[in-house]
Amino acid sequence: MAMAINDRTAEFRSIVNETKRRQNTKPGAQRLLNDVQRRDANGEGRPKRSEFARKAAEVGRGISGTMAKLEKLAQLAKKKTLFDDRPVEINELTFIIKQDLSALNEEIRGLQALSKRLHPKPDQEGENNKNILLLLQGKLGDVSANFKDVLEIRTKNIQASRSRTEAFVSSVGQHAHASLQQSASPLYGTPSRGTPSPAADLISLNPMGDQQLQLQMMEEGQNTYIQQRGQAIEAIESTINELGSIFGQLAAMVSEQSEMIERIDANTEDVVDNVEGAQKELLKYWSRVSGNRWLLAKMFGVLTYTLNTGAQIPAIGLGTWQSAPGQVKEAVIHALKSGYRLIDAAYCYGNEDEVGQGIAAAFSQGIIKSRSEIFVVSKVWATYTTRCELGLDKSLKALGLDYVDLYLVHWPLLMNPEGNDDRFPKLPDGSRDIIWGHNHVDTWKQMERLVATGKTRAIGVCNYSKLYLEQLLPYATIIPAVNQIENHPALPQQEIVDLCKSKGIHIMAYSPLGSTGGPLFQAEPVIKIAKKHNVGPASVLLSYHYPRGSTVLAKSTTPSRIEENINTLIELDQEDIALLDEYSNNLVREGKVQRFVYPPFGVKFGFPDKP
């Protein structure tokens, strides 16, 4: 039988406290324990155990306590006395141990349920919990077996005690009967029923009746004792039956665990085989697609480029210029749901509030989880180029954001900030109200100060020609991160693109399709490439910008087109690129390039096609 483990922690702590008290009464006495050791002794600083570990420890302590009670019961049950002098204590211990075993069995079942709930899938901690459960079940099984053995010993002792008692009573009765028969004293004579004669004047006593009365009382006491013993035996037999039931449950649990382990082993073997097969297939697939960078980018996320600030900007974004009022919010939501992560906005477009509503809805619907997942662009309009921070504040308020990722100078000019319209002030003759003599470099200096406010993460320009960039760069403390220009095969603007690349300025292309139903959709090389890749002309024109290293803005409010624009991008091969470059070069040589966006400002911005 396993020995009980005595917990002497309290005794140890009392000794430590007494030693500490004595040291405090003696000035200058050296401490036996330092602070770290004292905290360890008090149980401080230990890592908090898990719920399963705490409950398992409680079950272990319960098993140890039950073992101690069982040891005491065994000592009492093994006594072989003529009369059972402690039946109540034995019965109480038997009842308590039986209750403890039942409670511990339930607690182990609760631990099994807790382990399954915390670890529904096989893992290392779950396997450790299973081992602990098997150990506890084994310990409990040992205690139950010992309890059964003790009860059997107790039953045998009761039967032996009953036999000895019956033999003792029988011998005492026989001895008393023999003694009465051998006595010749007249005092013990049986009186006659008639009237005694005067000569027979003797005192008549009846001691025989008294002894019989004593023997009868003794027999009644023994009968009561035997009844109690019979009841005790019945209780023991009932307990043994219950223990048999517990053993049956434990056996069923062990059988279930064995079956589960066998299933896990079989499943593990199947999983290993499946994983090995999947690895082989993935390696084959990887060998086929590893050379296709465009396909890999579409497989593993949105293509991005690195700006000169170190930030990542997506290769494709949703444009919102000229989007119909009331449709922008849903367009933004659908774009973000479809995989877009760049939204291009501007104060001039007059729909930044709808853009903000779409972004907020995407957050509430769980389409995007954090602000860092999206790249938002806005622009300072020409009526605010002397009040750049005020223009940015208005855009942030409309967008419902604390900052934008990129803030651009929309056009390098100044319109009358006190004119007759906040966005498009006009003179009486209907022309734009321009403030002549404004230097766009001064606007850029204001833009540079905005970076320190944290309201924008990067700054850049829009619609800057090679001439205007050459005027700006010598005075720029911060090199523009982006130059957003109209760009497509019919307007390559190669001299601007080349200059920006040499200075680390990223190109962002707007109006990549030219115009709806425009000549680009009927251009021979565009149609030829589209047929070759089995896509539409729009997919070719959007994909044109990837080999050029540019971000492209695809504007649409139609859900199907929003999806098509991002899902049908292709990687153009060298033959495709050569066809489109030849088409562009011919237009440049013949002076037939086409610019589809050029507001009537009346300002010369230095574009070769707009002298």
Query: Contact, 483 vs 469, CB < 8 A?
Result: yes
Query: Contact, 456 vs 406, CB < 8 A?
Result: yes
Backbone angles phi, psi at 433, to 5 degrees: -85, 90
Of 387, 452, 449, nearest in space to 422 by CA: 387
Of 431, 415, 410, nearest in space to 321 by CA: 410
Q: Which of 349, 384, 464, 510 is catalytic?
A: 349
Query: Contact, 350 vs 384, CB < 8 A?
Result: no
In whole angstroms, what is the distance from residue 544 CA to residue 580 CA? 8
Q: Name the residue type at position 611.
A: P
- Identify the residue whose tokens are 């539409």: 536
Output the CA torsion 301→307→309→312 (10° steps): -10
Query: Contact, 157 vs 82, CB < 8 A?
Result: no
- Tally of residues, the chain: 611
For 182-204, the three-class secondary structure string (H helix, E strand, C coil) is HCCCHHHCCCCCCCCCHHHCCCC
The two structure tokens encoding residue 156: 């045998």
The two structure tokens encoding residue 376: 């938002």
Q: Which residues 6+ apart lie within 8 Å of 604 measured at CB?
A: 610, 611
Query: Contact, 487 vs 509, CB < 8 A?
Result: yes
Active-site annotation holds for 349: yes
Give the burial string for 4-35 (b: 16+ CB within 10 Å, else e): eeeeeeeeeeeebeeeeeeeeeeeeeeeeeee
484: β partners: 462, 508
Q: Name the residue type at position 534.
A: N
In whole angstroms, what is the distance from residue 607 CA to residue 467 CA? 8
Of 33, 29, 35, nearest in space to 15 by CA: 33
Angle of helix 87-118 relative to helix 51-77, nearest 10 degrees?
160
Tell me the helix, strand and coil percentages in the chain, rounded to 5. 60, 10, 30
Q: Would you list the DSSP string of 155-170?
A: HHHHHHHHHHHHHHHH
Q: Which residues 6+ apart lie within 8 Å of 510 measured at CB?
A: 319, 321, 344, 484, 485, 486, 487, 553, 555, 597
Output the CA torsion 432→436→440→446 (10° steps): -90
Using CA of residue 178, residue 184, residue 188, residue 190, what is the dihedral sign? positive
Kindly list the catalytic residues. 349
